[in-house]
Structure 1
Amino acid sequence: MIGPVSCIRLMLACLAGTAVLCVTSPSFSQQQGAGQATPPPAVVVEKVEVQQVSNPARFTARVEAIDAVDIRARVTGFLRAAEFTDGQAVKTGDTLFEIEPDQLEASVASARAQVARAEATRKSAERTLARNRDLFARNTVSRAVLDDAQAAFDVAAADALVAASALNTAELNLSYTRITAPISGSIGRAMFTVGNLVGPDSGSLARIVSLDPIRVAFAMTEGLLVTARQEEASGGPLDPGAFKLSLRLANGTEYDEAGRIEFVENEVDPQTGTVTARAVFPNPHHVLIPGQFVTLSIEEKEIPKLPVVPQTAVLQDREGRFVYLLGQNNTVSQRRIDTGARVSNGWAVTTGLNGGEQVVVQGIQRLAEGMTVQPSEGQPLDGGP
């Protein structure tokens, strides 16, 4: 029979053996972790492609005629003919209107008669002056008679000049009865029909606008202007021919003619922060009409080639943007980059990449510098400028 003291000693021995067993025997989870290490994270990488990157500046622009003329009557009379149809293309010198010339023809005839009369009077006074000079030389007439003859001749000569000037004016007014086109272009509708009395106070008879070439005016941003001026100041003169100008019409189609910059204003509007600029476009088919609005795009003719990375590969912190590059032994490293224009679903990289590198595009959030990864190839970046 076991006494109380012996029972207590037996129980303490059993507890001690159990404690040793718990310390020295590994658990099931520890046995499993020792047999299987944590694998590197899986990521998807893509090769950086080099593409032509276009980043056009776009402006809302208005079409203007380079030349525009309001046709007006310079003499008063009744319209006898209108020698054009509304909307017709006209050339410089084409007859547009005719004003009845009868009254002005009579004025020309009267002025010619006045010229003939004045010329006859001048010749008579000239002969009288010549005789009196001869008589004065022989002391036959007095000095006073000679002076009177000289004065009569001077008056007659002046009257002849006045008559000749009146004739020129009458002939000029007669020529105004035939109204011609001062410029080439498209003429609008006639504001007066045949039979109406017109004159200098009648206003515009019709309007001609030149359509080919045609001007497009737009407000250039101050920032773009400053950039252009800085290029000039750094020794790289701003060449208008180095830019490609294109238009998008109101129906969404692209205009098929390229333009050129004609003029940039030398003052910035303080209210809008823009500067007025003008471009010129060929318009052989008269698609562009003065007053309409278009979208003007300006870009460099020589489109640069830049590396393009997918948007999903780019991260940003306080220092700027960066990507993770896949290096040797499947390790990743950060690379700081500067981005430019958006290209489809990616960014053009101005500094930091040369093209051909492999960047991580998926699984990027759990990466750190120098981490080993399990890479797999993704689809190349699709899209272009």
Structure 2
Amino acid sequence: ISMKRYDIGDLVGKVGADNLLTTITQLDPIHAEFSIPSNDYYFLRTLDYENVKVIYLLSDGTPFDNLGKLDFIDSVLEPSTATIKARAIVENPEHLLVPGEFSRIRLDGIIAKDCIAIPQVALMQDAKGSFVFKVVEGKAQPTPVVLGYNIGNDVIIKSGLHDGDIIVTSQLIKLRPGAPVTPLNQAQTNQAPNNQAKP
């Protein structure tokens, strides 16, 4: 409970006055409200929330000891910000987290099924957008791709590639469309010809 606003004997209830007596808050467990961009929401809405871990990042960037969990995601889009409100809950027995404090939220345990992820170093850019060099009949072929989410040093490809495609991941600066390339297995040595390709 916060500091009281009035003492016994004070007149309260005047028209137009601030009649708040005090504020009661719950510290353990504690809730955090945050917003999810609409694009991320469409990715998240099919997930099993029980598998998603919520990590509270304190003001100095260190993660809070206790993991939280999602307990609410709104069904209404906020038109002014194109975001959807969400709420997480975490055990806070030592009251290290306090109401009104700003902290960052990181969601872990999200699994994207049946998707293609490639190293970010394989991506190239031109006036039309992102593309990769795909190996087609032993030659490098520029292939436009639509990018999804970054995961570490990899990026999810929404469209443009299919299961089994082989892309070039090194010597890209020297590579030109139609140049011959020799795919290498990951088990082979890194001592390889100039134009290398990995699946």
Mapping of 1:273-284 within 5 angstroms? 273-284=82-93
Match of 1:212 in 2: 28
Change (3 A) 1:271 1:324: closer
Determine whether 1:342 maps to 2:150: yes
Match of 1:314 in 2: 123
Q: Give, in angstroms, the shift of residue 220 of structure 1.
A: 2.7
Letter aligned with residue 340 of structure 1? G
Judge conservation of contact 1:310–1:361 (CA < 8 Å) in 2: no
Provide the identity percentage.
24
The structure that has the greater radius of gyration is: 1
Q: Give, in angstroms, the shift of residue 278 of structure 1.
A: 1.9
Match of 2:140 in 1: 333
Cα distance in 2 for residues equivalent to 1:221 and 1:357? 33
Letter aligned with residue 325 of structure 1? V
Cα distance in 1 for residues equivalent to 2:103 and 2:86? 14
Cα distance in 2 for residues equivalent to 1:287 and 1:355? 49
Considering fraction of residues, name the structure with more helix: 1
Please state whether the residue corresponding to 1:224 is helix, strand or coil: helix
Q: Give, in angstroms, the shift of residue 295 of structure 1.
A: 0.7
Q: Give, in angstroms, the shift of residue 292 of structure 1.
A: 0.4
Which whole-Å deviations, capped at 9, do the CAs of 1:123-170 have from their partners, x for residues lacking one? xxxxxxxxxxxxxxxxxxxxxxxxxxxxxxxxxxxxxxxxxxxxxxxx
Match of 1:117 in 2: none
Cα distance in 2 for residues equivalent to 1:362 and 1:354? 23
Mapping of 1:102-141 within 5 angstroms? none
Letter aligned with residue 332 of structure 1? K
Which of 28, 40, 63 does residue 254 from structure 1 map onto?
63
Match of 2:49 in 1: 240
Query: Which structure is higher in RCO with an 8 Å CA cutoff and minimum separation 6?
Result: 1
Judge conservation of contact 1:325–1:360 (CA < 8 Å) in 2: no
Please state whether the residue corresponding to 2:40 is helix, strand or coil: helix
Deviates more, 1:210-219 or 1:256-265: 256-265
Give the total of aligned pairs.
178
Which of 100, 106, 116 does residue 291 from structure 1 map onto?
100
Q: Give, in angstroms, the shift of residue 322 of structure 1.
A: 2.0
Which whole-Å deviations, capped at 9, do the CAs of 1:204-252 have from their partners, x for residues lacking one? 77654221111111223333344555x4xxxxxx532232222111111
Which whole-Å deviations, capped at 9, do the CAs of 1:306-332 have from their partners, x for residues lacking one? 543252x333454851224397xxx43
Cα distance in 1 for residues equivalent to 2:78 and 2:117? 38
Cα distance in 2 for residues equivalent to 1:334 and 1:263? 46
Judge conservation of contact 1:307–1:350 (CA < 8 Å) in 2: no
Match of 1:30 in 2: none
Letter aligned with residue 211 of structure 1? L
Considering fraction of residues, name the structure with more strand: 2
Match of 1:323 in 2: 133
Which whole-Å deviations, capped at 9, do the CAs of 1:260-315 have from their partners, x for residues lacking one? 2222334333333333322211112211101100111234444668543252x333
Judge conservation of contact 1:219–1:275 (CA < 8 Å) in 2: yes
Q: Give, in angstroms, the shift of residue 358 of structure 1.
A: 6.5
Cα distance in 2 for residues equivalent to 1:252 and 1:326? 45
